Chains A and B, each alone.
Chain A
Amino acid sequence: MDPKVTLSSILKPLKRLKENKAALFGFIVVLFFIILAIFADIIAPYDVNEVFQTRLPPSPNHWFGTDTRGRDLFSLVVYGARTTLYVGAACCFIEFVLGFIIGAISGYIGGWLDDLFMRIADIFLSLPSLLVVILAVSMFKSRSLTVIILVMGFIGWPYMARVVRSQVLQLKGAPFVEAARAIGASTQRILFRHILPNIMLPIIILLTIEFAGYVLWEATLSFLGLGDPNSISYGALILSGKNTLRTCPWITFFPGLFLFLLLLGFQLFGDGLRDIFEIRV
């Protein structure tokens, strides 16, 4: 990869986004959910705590009907986008911080630290991560959204660490890094000021794909009843409609549809970015 990322080197591939239909679809879906999450207060017709008759079918008053507790399902789904994006973004942030620090140390300093971190990463990557998440979440008395985010973010670091490590190894001997070292820049400065800006692209692409993974973990956890009972989550909404699937399928259908779109959108967008920038992560 060209170590210098200029504005035009980013803008040019974005034009190719138009040609890649799947990636364009993913981009639009991602944009749609971001708008839903930001303007949830304006878009949602009712307050999520407002209670109507329970299990009303979809109608002009309640587009998606009402759920088992009588809340307006459309509003719930809109606010659910906010929770979901929050979980995904927060987990990605934790993964980025941990993964970058560990990956950079492994790649730049190397030695026994590198061996140790990479062996731990291997173990994490070989285990079924959903089970590790369930195991870790089960240890907490209160399963608040913060706890779930912290647990998932901490478990997700090995992917990022590996990508950062391989990128750092590639850049370690690059002339601009050697130049920085020659003028006496500290290791931290080299890593954060010189190397980090140059490996942002693969990091962002990895995070777009990982985002969908975190959303899926959270939805699965709340579907199993192990999520935060006080947050509005697609998984929990789907679970709440499970027992009335025959009589009121809409309670499951609409949150399920939104979860489907969200997962699909982020994965297609991430794949598209990867193809457009021709970076393997």
Chain B
Amino acid sequence: MKLRTYIIRRLIMIIPLFFVMSILVFLLIHLAPGDPILTMFGTTTPYNKEIVEIMRKKYGLDRPLYEQYLIWLNMLLHGDLGYSYLNRRPISMMISERVIPTLEITGLALIITVIFSTLLGVIAAVKRNSIIDHLVTSFAVTGRGLPGFLIALILIFIFSLNLGWLPVCGRETPGMTFSSAFEYWLDRIKHLILPVVSLSWYQIAYLVRLVRASMLDVLNQEYILTARAKGLKESIVIYKHALKNALLPEVTIIGLYVGYLIAGAAVIETIFAWPGLGSLLVTSVHRREYLLIMDINLLIFISVLVANLLTDIIYAYLDPRIRY
């Protein structure tokens, strides 16, 4: 099968998945106890009975469930995500301004995770049983007991509260005037460090083990022995012959890892008061704004689907056997 046919086939498979997910999210909301319109207003907002009736008509809540789903889907496909009455703003606006901050920390965390886990894993495997290997291995073992929020609190305690090097929370220092663009970006970067490190820590610890194990596995194979016997330099043996094959398992994991990152971002953003999608999700759960919860979840699920698709395509490109 050609790569293009494979990609087209996978793209077509995403369509039924989208419908399954929208049905899943829809049913979860509508099986929940309570009137969806009243809960849409939130428990704290005073509401007008007539408006409730109009809303009920608009969302078609007087009709059977499958029609309601079609109405919601129709709105969704036309880009109408609904209106948040607690915030008095359209949901599409609230979500769109939060996408970039989330992409900032998740994207950076992804890059850092890939770089560090590969680097540490390969070094540990090449210098097996050295001090570096023992350090990396013990980091990998203990790291698995440290969920993101614990790491975040430890880092805040050390670097923000005691040393005072980095800010405790937020995306930039509020109300500060910067004399130059450099100072502004420095401030932004300082705010990024702790959330990104907390988000990556657990996954680096997990992936380091994987890279180390698969690198050791590859290094024991015969073609590496051949390469060494030919008298190739050790660096060429490792980086040109071994590394490519050792990284294949990591590529498969990274597709799943995007999902973990976004879920982890919900926790990390809440701790650092980072104005992203994750913290918006947690606040909306606290306020029981169901429409908002529904939209954010669907959006995240779809992005995870797309991320999985991308990794599958990369994998199919790297390893043609996969396409069959």
Contact = CB atoms under 8 A, between A and B. Distances in A.
A joins B in a complex: yes
Interface of A: 22, 123, 126-131, 134-141, 216, 219-220, 223-226, 238, 242, 245-246, 249, 252, 256, 259-265, 267-268
Contact of A138 (B21, B161, B293, B308): B293
Contacts of B267: 130, 220, 223-224
Contacts of B308: 126
Nearest to B284: A138
Nearest to B21: A123
B320 interface: no
Contacts of B237: none
B32 A131 contact: no
Given A128-B304, A134-B281, A141-B33, A267 B153 contact: no
Nearest to B282: A224
B33 A249 contact: no
A267 B144 CA distance: 8
B304 A264 contact: no
Given A128-B260, A223-B149, 11 more contacts: A22-B141, A123-B21, A128-B300, A130-B263, A139-B28, A224-B266, A224-B270, A242-B271, A246-B161, A252-B153, A267-B145
13 contacts: A126-B304, A130-B266, A131-B301, A135-B297, A139-B32, A140-B32, A224-B266, A224-B267, A226-B285, A242-B153, A242-B271, A245-B161, A259-B150
Contact of B262 (A22, A128, A242): A128
Interface string B118-160: 0000000000000000000000011011110110011011000
Contacts of B154: 256
A138 B290 CA distance: 8
B259 A126 contact: yes
Interface residues of B, number: 46
B161 A264 contact: no
B71 interface: no
Contacts of A263: 144-147
A21 B91 CA distance: 53
A135 B293 contact: yes
A249 B20 CA distance: 46
A45 to B, nearest CB: 26
Interface string B156-188: 110001000000000000000000000000000
Which of B150, B260, B263, B271 neighbours the largest number of chain A CB atoms within 10 Å of its CB?
B150
B71 to A, nearest CB: 20
A265 B141 CA distance: 10
7 pairs of A and B residues whose beta carbons are closest in the complex = A264-B145, A128-B259, A128-B263, A130-B263, A139-B32, A138-B285, A263-B145
Contacts, number: 105
Contacts of B304: 126-128
A135 B20 contact: no
B305 interface: yes
A130 B267 CA distance: 10
A259 B147 CA distance: 9
B139 to A, nearest CB: 13
Contacts of A238: 149-150, 153
Interface of B: 17, 20-21, 25, 28-29, 31-34, 141-142, 144-147, 149-150, 153-154, 156-157, 161, 256, 259-260, 262-264, 266-267, 270-271, 281-282, 285-286, 288, 290, 293, 297, 300-301, 304-305, 308
A263 B308 CA distance: 28
Given A139-B29, A139-B31, A267-B145, A131 B300 contact: yes
B171 to A, nearest CB: 19
B145 A261 contact: yes
A245 B150 contact: no
Contacts of B145: 260-265, 267
B28 A135 contact: yes
Nearest to A215: B147
Contact of A129 (B29, B156, B263): B263
Nearest to A141: B33
Given A123-B17, A126-B304, A136-B28, A131 B263 contact: yes
Contacts of B263: 128-131
B24 to A, nearest CB: 8
Contact of B150 (A130, A135, A260): A260
Contacts of B305: 126
A61 B144 CA distance: 33
Nearest to A234: B150
Nearest to B288: A138
A131 B297 contact: yes
A182 to B, nearest CB: 38
A136 B282 CA distance: 13
A112 to B, nearest CB: 16
A70 to B, nearest CB: 22
Contacts of A216: 147
B144 A123 contact: no
Contacts of A129: 263
Contacts of A134: 266, 281-282, 285
A261 B144 CA distance: 10
Given A127-B304, A141-B34, A256 B20 contact: no
A265 B20 CA distance: 38
Given A126-B308, A263-B145, A256 B262 contact: no
Contacts of A130: 260, 263-264, 266-267
A245 B32 contact: no
